[in-house]
Amino acid sequence: MKRLIDLTNQRFGRLVVLRRAGRNKSNGNVKWLCQCDCGNLCIKEGYNLRKGNTRSCGCLRKEVAREKIFRQPNTIAHIGNSDTLQAAWHPSKKDAVRSKNRSGVTGVSYDRHHDLWIARLYYHRAYVLNRSFHTKEEAVAARLAAEAQYLN
């Protein structure tokens, strides 16, 4: 049996190891309770900490993604422009519709299993519209009404 490598009080990227938190049942790796520089507590495997695969609670990934988005000139040009969003959500017939979207309207889909049309709108990390309708027209109307209420 291998000796346990004590990682207590060691720093790995933004994480400081506080104490042991058990073992991963699937592979036997030791898990450690860590405190991130952002203040979050998280449990990470010691192997991933030592090898550099884990450097934060997840906040680093979010920050890197945000920085990459704001380095894109196209993204910066369209931030806050609702006309661009309208064109993307409601393509005209001459525009190409995504292959997976059979309704032609973003947020409206067909559920074959239940033979219903579904209208959805995700706003501020929550569904403000997630209803089913018997006709496509009802679903599209509900989606457009929700957009008018929440996005305009």
Determine the pLDDT at residue 69: 82
Task: For residues 49 and 57, give the distance between their C-alpha atoms in angstroms, rounded to a whole number.
Answer: 11
Least confident of 56-60, 96-100, 142-146: 96-100
Q: What is the percent of the chain where pLDDT is above 90? A: 48
Task: Reply yes or no on whether the pLDDT at 150 is more than 90.
Answer: no
Distance CA 31, CA 66 (A): 29
| Residues 61-94 pLDDT 10s | 888 888 888 888 877 777 767 666 666 666 555 4
Provide the pLDDT for residue 79: 72
Rounded average pLDDT over 103-122: 89
Query: Residue 89 half-sphere exposure, CB side, CA atoms within 13 Å?
Result: 19
Q: Compute the average pLDDT of residues 1-30.
A: 89
**pLDDT number for residue 53:** 93
Measured CA distances, 108 to 100, 126, 144 (Å): 11, 17, 10
- The full length of the chain comes to 152
What was the pLDDT predicted at 71? Answer: 85
Partnered with residue 12 across adjacent β-strands are 15
Backbone angles phi, psi at 135, to 5 degrees: -125, 155
Which fold would CATH assign to domain 89-151? 1.20.5
Q: Where are the domains of the chain?
A: 11-57, 89-151
Cβ of 115: how many Cβ atoms within 10 Å?
9
